[in-house]
Amino acid sequence: MAPEDLLFQLGIPLADDVLRGIVGIFAHAFPGRIRAAYLVGSYADGSAVALSDLDIRLVFRGAFQEGEEDRFRQMRDSCRLLSPIEIDMPPLSEDRLQFDPAWMHEVIDIGTNGRLLYGRELRSDLPIVDFETYFYHLTDAPLMFMSRVHQVNPLRFPLDYPEPVEPLYGYDGAKGKNKSLKMLVHIAGFVATCLIGMKAGRIVTKKKDWLPMYRVHIDDEWTSFLATLYGRCKEEWGYIVPTEDGDLQFLRETCRQALRFENYYLACYREYLIEELYAANNDRQIRALRRLRQVIYRDARLTARLENLAAQESGLGGEALETLRVYQEINES
């Protein structure tokens, strides 16, 4: 088939034109190297709104060849400048999906939500998802987005507003020209997804499922906040910052609650990480130590455990020493 003849179309002319263009450009630029192209995310599951990304997944055959990933990234970034719809398109290969646990979230997206656009189906070749590994890599997402919005890395618990003097406290990207509520909803969604994993041991396979799953498996004091945030910020406003005074007043209160929700999650995550530091499995302890370099807690229990682990003459002790070093540098700055 020609790259321009997609196996699946949305029936949305602008989005379908972008998909045809992207698949065609990359198939011609990397002849014989694209095993499959998928559409995932909100356009694939029918929940897209005005500012939603087109989540395209081009999967290269085998492993990336020398220089291939760099060329892919350069071309993707150039396409982003031209596309009227924002594009999300990470560098993927068959080897990366099959053997690198850091990309397990992409295995889930393609396996449960993927719409094959081009190439040969590969979902039967994807590995079975291991919950422990899935959850470890999942918890990187809220920390990454929080660091981006709060403009601090590593994070310091408790968080303050990204921009305390701004009307929406910086949750709309107030310093940039293109204001959007996308990151606000993304943080809430990833935090809710992590809480579902942490408290209920469940995997959220589609982004649109995190709210109904939170209602079913958690249903706590935050459920109403999450439902209201999703319903207004995404479904009603399509991530676009409203202009009516009443809406802005509501949104300002929502952003105040968003900070409290972030800190609630980080407090829950602290307790989870402390428990992991006492796990019998060294791999779990090492994972916890590495996560603790991404978010700094002032907690005597945590410090005592880090010092205890650092005294061990093992790889675990080295990881604990590195984490203690990060904490000392932050506390002295």
Which one, of 280, 293, 281, lies nearest residue 319 by Cα? 293
Is the pLDDT confidence value at 129 over 90? no
**For residues 330 and 139, which has the higher predicted lDDT (pLDDT)?**
139
**Secondary structure (3-state) at 115:** strand
**Secondary structure (3-state) at 296:** strand
Is the pLDDT confidence value at 176 over 70? no
Q: What is the reported pTM?
A: 0.93
Tokens of 320: 């604990």
Q: What percent of the chain has pLDDT over 90?
A: 90
Is the pLDDT confidence value at 174 over 70? no
Tell me if 185 sits within 8 A of 142, measured CB to CB. Answer: no
Spell out the domain ranges in the chain: 13-128, 132-332
Tell me if 54 sits within 8 A of 18, measured CB to CB. Answer: yes
Angstrom distance (rounded) from CA 214 to CA 204: 10
Is the pLDDT confidence value at 2 over 80? no
Cβ contacts of 232 within 8 Å, gap of 6 or more: 247, 250, 251, 254
Tell me if 16 sits within 8 A of 10, measured CB to CB. Answer: yes
Is the pLDDT confidence value at 173 over 90? no
Tens digits of residue pLDDT in 20-41: 999 999 999 999 999 999 999 9
Is the pLDDT confidence value at 116 over 60? yes
> Is-cis flag, bond preceding 154, omega within 30?
yes
Q: Exposure of 47 by Cβ count < 10 A (0-12 exposed, 13-18 middle, 19+ buried)? A: middle
Instruction: State the average pLDDT over residues 248-264.
Output: 97
Residue type, 182: K
Angstrom distance (rounded) from CA 117 to CA 114: 9
Q: Exposure of 258 by Cβ count < 10 A (0-12 exposed, 13-18 middle, 19+ buried)? A: buried
Angstrom distance (rounded) from CA 130 to CA 59: 21
**What's the fold here for domain 13-128?**
Beta Polymerase; domain 2 (3.30.460)
